[in-house]
Structure 1
Amino acid sequence: MAEGIQLKNISGNNLEQCLKCSICTAYCPVSAVEPKYPGPKQSGPDQERYRLKDSKFFDEALKMCLNCKRCEVACPSGVRIADIIQASRITYSTHRPIPRDIMLANTDFVGTMANMVAPIVNATLGLKPVKAVLHGVMGIDKHRTFPAYSSQKFETWYKRMAAKKQDSYSKHVSYFHGCYVNYNFPQLGKDLVKIMNAVGYGVHLLEKEKCCGVALIANGLSGQARRQGKVNIRSIRKAAEQNRIVLTTSSTCTFTMRDEYEHLLDIKTDDVRENITLATRFLYRLIEKGDIKLAFRKDFKMRTAYHSACHMEKMGWIIYSTELLKMIPGLELIMLDSQCCGIAGTYGFKKENYQRSQEIGSGLFKQIRELNPDCVSTDCETCKWQIEMSTGYEVKNPISILADALDVEETIKLNQ
């Protein structure tokens, strides 16, 4: 191309920059195990040229895409390949969500109902007859293990046990806890509050929070995802007006709000995008600048293997979580080879995807078993579900490991 000449984009996701090198297909975890999937280059830039002319060129096989973004990480030209695929599904797909898709996608509704009778729900979902019904009637694979629900929501614990004392701190952050923390694993939220309070920060919930919407987007409910996204962004703007950074503990929630809202849901986020950040990134930067200090228990010992979640790779933030873990004197950190675990949120729950999901993650599972660590660490909750179910090893968020290793009293002294 002559110097100074730039290609004119005719689409919103710069498909014109595609070199047709097929590196994206080589890195695609679905293409590696599923011959029926056209691959990201063909599904994305190649077919989009035809879809722009006539919607009949849309192929429902695009639903096999994990939206893992590994194609975009690999692309030498920065083409938003996965966004092209997801946007075309939103625009052209004639498939309508079935009851299973609606149930899996509406995490706030299902979580609220399940929390009310959590012991019964947890016991029932593990019964073989129930699994058989879910498999045959709902299309949820009988081999899939559901994450356990908590009897008390994180929001309930926070309001009863933590809210009152947060104003006593001189510095403040807001926390987007997400569905997983609220309904399944409140301990992760408690761990974040513990750490932030120890370093002198009050933690506040957003004025109003909805599910980030990633499951809604994946299951063909983009309209609902957009409505919920607008609620979240309004609350994040209010936090920004109070000079509060919004912390998260989920890589996928973070990525969805920072990038998917604008690219796929047409929600303006440029004014608050940089106000949303993963807690490990926020903490690492504070430590690097010398603004806070951490002290750790002398008796803490752990050998953990870190799994690089796909959306962490896309954001380029793995270094923040891993470098933070390396600061713990009693922790031996092993980096697992970068591989997709295969679950992709609700994708791996569906019986038509289950076998493919497990084949994608098989190399990762084998590696974990061979290493035999005390636990696995990752920043993605659905990766946690997949790895725990498929290997039997406990999986912890880096924040929870940090909280377990922290000498709270000494840390408070260092930061006074």
Structure 2
Amino acid sequence: MMTLQQQNISDNNFESCIKCTICTVYCPVTAVNPDYPGPKQAGPDGERYRLKKPLFYDEALKYCLNCKRCEVACPNDVKIGDIIQSARIKYSAHGPSLRDTMLANTDFMGNIATRMAPLVNFTLKLKPVKLIMDKVLKIDDHRTFPKYSSERFESWYGKKASEVEKQYPKQVSYFHGCYVNYNYPQLGKDLLKVMNAVGYGVRLLDKERCCGVAKIANKCIDEAIRDGNNNIRAISEAVERGDEVLATSSTCCFTLRDEYEHILHLNNRGIRDHIMLGTLFLFNLIDNGDVKIAFRKDYRKRIAYHTPCHMEKLGWTVFSTSLIRMIPGVEFIMLDSHCCGIAGTYGFKKENYAYSQAIGEPLFRQIKETGCDFVASDCETCKWQIEMSTGVSVLNPISVIADAIDFEETRRLNGISGLPVVEEY
């Protein structure tokens, strides 16, 4: 039997492309970078040629953000972003550089950085250090780095929360991700606070690894597959014991659910539908009447919401925004749907920095014009980009709920006042 390649047929569905070019209109890169051929040419059109001869591969595909906006816009559901990413992995002659490997290996770098977080955080702000990284590693010296925490979330959980969480009869498991573990453990604490308020204990997955999105973007594919298989094992164990698996990062969630199968060709079908954002899980509990939630009467905020690109692809924006709208004291502003431009590690690279900022400029301008107290968003890298480019703080919707919730009243409403709580959320 002839293989798909011998038949000139892709394992992606480029044959469904009707050449309407709507994907190019919605692509944030083509608007600012004339070197990028655009999703139609880079994706379905280019795939037709690459299947005949790999020499037709264009290295300009490196400029793709993998934001998936082309796929959201496509009327025929062509996997344009997947076609482009798969082509980069398969045909590019350039392997990951030292910089790419460092940016991709978030667990390795995070474990080192958290051991000496004050020194690392101080050093990464120094202009001479930033200039050296710019010249030697090609990490743009204008880019600011997220701070590292001195205590990893997993360590805090083991010391302060694990015994308490075990005592809740209803349980969920938590894929916390690298950002929560190494940079901002408070977001993980906020999820525990919210879940404990409505009667759920939170377990951590067994030996969780990075979701792999940075490794995929930087073509460290063997490592991404290794970590992916580990995470599938850990999530499968959680699902088998009856847990839903919650995440607080839209990109982690999207990678675990979709990129594992489409890009890494890993079998996650038995667990995919059990992986969801914490906001989706909480909204469903409230909407089904399973739990009640009370908010502080003194909470007053003007909040603007930014939809991360991968959140738009998931189609779950409504759950996060609906929860924020439930808070009586919130003046809610829905920002226009627009890519922030950072795309994970993409915006850290010197060759991409100017494009990254140009892509995000309309969003930055709108945020400044709103006069909001802060922006809410479900993606940590969007947070870094917006905070650096506007000076406006960004909070995950789970953190917004954790701050606004009347914790004791919510527990009373749900009849769980007798269950223990963590001393320090």
Give the TM-score normalised by structure 2.
0.95
Is the counterpart of residue 63 in structure 1 residue 59 in structure 2? Answer: no
- Partners of 1:55 and 1:11 in 2: how far apart? 13
Please name the residue that 1:211 is paired with: 210
Superposition deviation, residue 241 in structure 1: 0.6
Please name the residue that 1:154 is paired with: 153
Is the counterpart of residue 350 in structure 1 residue 362 in structure 2? Answer: no
- Partners of 2:405 and 2:212 in 1: how far apart? 33
Q: Any residues of structure 2 matched to 1:34-113 within 5 Å, and which? A: 34-113=33-112
Q: Which amino acid is 1:393 matched to? A: V
- Partners of 1:101 and 1:366 in 2: how far apart? 30
Q: Which amino acid is 1:220 matched to? A: K
| 1:23-73 residue CA offsets vs partner (Å, 9 max, x unmatched) | 000000000111110000000000101111111111110000000000000
Contact 2:114 2:150 in 1 (8 A): yes
Please name the residue that 2:4 is paired with: none
- Partners of 1:377 and 1:298 in 2: how far apart? 20
Q: Any residues of structure 2 matched to 1:12-411 within 5 Å, and which? A: 12-411=11-410
Say which SS state the counterpart of residue 266 (structure 1) adopts.
coil
Paired residue total: 409
- Partners of 2:125 and 2:166 in 1: how far apart? 42
- Partners of 2:8 and 2:53 in 1: how far apart? 18
Work out the percentage of aligned pairs sharing the same amino acid: 64
Q: How large is the RMSD of aligned CA atoms in angstroms?
A: 0.9
- Partners of 1:36 and 1:109 in 2: how far apart? 34
Contact 2:8 2:51 in 1 (8 A): no
Say which SS state the counterpart of residue 260 (structure 1) adopts.
helix
User: Would the alpha carbon gap of residues 167 and 53 (structure 1) be closer, same or farther in structure 2, given more than 3 Å must change?
Assistant: same
- Partners of 2:98 and 2:328 in 1: how far apart? 49
| 1:70-112 residue CA offsets vs partner (Å, 9 max, x unmatched) | 0000000000000000001111111011110000000001001
Contact 2:8 2:52 in 1 (8 A): no
- Partners of 1:213 and 1:406 in 2: how far apart? 33
Say which SS state the counterpart of residue 265 (structure 1) adopts.
coil
Superposition deviation, residue 9 in structure 1: 9.3
Superposition deviation, residue 251 in structure 1: 0.2
Please name the residue that 1:5 is paired with: none
Say which SS state the counterpart of residue 11 (structure 1) adopts.
coil
Please name the residue that 1:4 is paired with: none
Superposition deviation, residue 232 in structure 1: 0.3
Q: Which amino acid is 1:279 matched to? A: G
Q: Which amino acid is 1:17 matched to? A: S
Contact 2:8 2:48 in 1 (8 A): no
Contact 2:173 2:245 in 1 (8 A): yes
Superposition deviation, residue 10 in structure 1: 2.1
Superposition deviation, residue 168 in structure 1: 1.1
| 1:261-311 residue CA offsets vs partner (Å, 9 max, x unmatched) | 000001001111001000000000110000011111111111010001000
Contact 2:190 2:398 in 1 (8 A): yes
Contact 1:9 1:16 in 2 (8 A): no
Superposition deviation, residue 220 in structure 1: 1.1
- Partners of 2:141 and 2:107 in 1: how far apart? 23
Superposition deviation, residue 207 in structure 1: 1.0
Contact 2:172 2:203 in 1 (8 A): yes
Q: Which amino acid is 1:168 matched to? A: Q
Q: Which amino acid is 1:372 matched to? A: G
Give the TM-score normalised by structure 1.
0.98
Q: Which amino acid is 1:88 matched to? A: A
- Partners of 1:93 and 1:306 in 2: how far apart? 37
Q: Which amino acid is 1:51 matched to? A: R
Q: Which amino acid is 1:406 matched to? A: I
- Partners of 2:169 and 2:327 in 1: how far apart? 26
